[in-house]
Amino acid sequence: MGRLGMSIPIKSIGLGLDFGGSAYFGKVTDWNTAAYSFNADSKTFQKAANNAYDSLTDRKYYGADAQLYLDIPFIGGLSLRGEG
């Protein structure tokens, strides 16, 4: 698992932009009695072969986030954030 981020301050107009990306490449324990995978050719889900209860299953997650900061002194700062 990892995350990289960067901050770009635009002090002349009181703005700041932070953004980053994250990823996870690993395995998790599958506590189900059956696992399914998507077959793109037939557009159906099929039971995965050789799946056993409490087996390790590959996982890959990707993420990105961004924050926009606007400094408004009489309010104390306004923040708009998004994550995907």
What pLDDT, in 10s, does the model give residues 21-70?
A: 999 999 988 777 777 778 888 888 887 766 666 778 788 999 998 888 88
Q: How confident is the model at residue 8 (pLDDT cuts 50, 70, 90)?
A: very high
The radius of gyration of the chain's CA atoms, rounded to the nearest angstrom, is 21
Residues 6 or more apart whose CB falls under 8 angstroms from that of 33 comprise 53
Q: Which residues contact 48 (CB under 8 A, 6 or more apart)?
A: 34, 35, 36, 37
Is the per-residue pLDDT at 76 higher than 80? no
pTM confidence score: 0.54
CA pair distance 2, 20, nearest whole angstrom: 11
Q: What is the dihedral of CA 45, 48, 53, 59, to 10 degrees?
A: -80
